[in-house]
Structure 1
Amino acid sequence: MTTDQTTHPEMHHGGGGGNQERAASIANDQQLAYALLRCALGTAFLMHFVPRLFGGIDTFAENMVKDFANTALPALLVRPFALALPFVEGILGVLLIAGFRTREAIVAVVAVMLLLIFGSSLQNGWQAVSIQLLYVLLAYILLAQRSASNTLSVDGLIARRNAKSSQQA
């Protein structure tokens, strides 16, 4: 038995059908892995929103203005960004968890991360930049795999319904 057959004995049937079952199992694993990664990134974004909501958005914004006081960014730009950021993070988190408008949500995640990387760089916050780059890497993986693996999602459900409707027409 091969390693794959030992790890997944249910896929070893001896005969031609095993290859189809193995391919289906691999596809299901890829779809599940994609959904889990998408939900993990979505949860991370959503959980940036929740404590800021209950801790006070104004407090968060004031702290961010203080954090940027010694940078080239004026409070006039920092404060509105800080007030909007938690809501943007929350919306993107929900969209990613649900898998709705996934492509647009992933692109928006990268846009937010670019802004955060810019701000962290102004503060010489290289540890934060490193973490932010990991978020960008996760977004890249999700975007690169989206068309083949985003079936366990609202987008996947809509695509299946549209395909079924077009077949019936």
Structure 2
Amino acid sequence: MKSVSYLMVRLGIGISMLGHGLVRIPKLNAFSEGMINNFQSAPLPDFLLIPFSFALPFIEFLLGLLLIIGWQTKRAAIVGGFLMLALIAGTSLIENWSALPSQMIHLLFFILVYEFNQANAFALDSKKD
């Protein structure tokens, strides 16, 4: 039964990440402009912020896809965890405290996916040649 619980955790964070990317990619320019506007007061240079704002939806989409199909699960969890840490840092810089709980929950899900990976039975990762 641990494998079913793990599957729900993995799919939960995977669907959330895929959804974040999926809705942002079609409106990529508007998303990037909005993010840049939100960070005008933050001490972040544009040469970091602009590429990040364009890359973020694709990273979210890819992480979500990898987690849903269960391929490279541990690596996806590590990348996702560090992505959440970057988002938490940015959110703190602009004092958007209402966004932090959601980001902290996403971070926790990535930690759970990484830590309990031995229960990853329903995944491409679990298929042996």
Same fold (TM over 0.5): yes
Q: In the comparison of the two structures, how many residue pairs are matched?
A: 129
Residue in 1 that maps onto 2:25: 53
* Cα distance in 1, alignment partners of residues 55 and 101 from structure 2: 23
Tell me the TM-score normalized by structure 2: 0.95
Residue in 2 that maps onto 1:108: 79
* Cα distance in 2, alignment partners of residues 139 and 80 from structure 1: 24
8 A contact 1:69–1:75 mirrored in 2: no
Gaps of 5+ in 1: 1-28, 162-169
Q: Which amino acid aligns with 1:43?
A: I
Q: Which amino acid aligns with 1:151?
A: A
Matched-pair identity in % = 32
Tell me the TM-score normalized by structure 1: 0.74
Residue in 2 that maps onto 1:73: 44
TM-align CA RMSD: 1.0
Indicate whether 1:40 and 2:12 are aligned.
yes
* Cα distance in 2, alignment partners of residues 65 and 76 from structure 1: 11
* Cα distance in 2, alignment partners of residues 75 and 67 from structure 1: 12
- Greater C-alpha Rg: 1
Match for 1:138 among 109, 112, 116? Answer: 109
Q: Which amino acid aligns with 2:18?
A: L
Moved >3 Å (runs of 4+): none
* Cα distance in 1, alignment partners of residues 4 and 100 from structure 2: 29
Q: How far 1:76 sits from its partner (Å)?
A: 2.4
Q: How far 1:153 sits from its partner (Å)?
A: 0.2
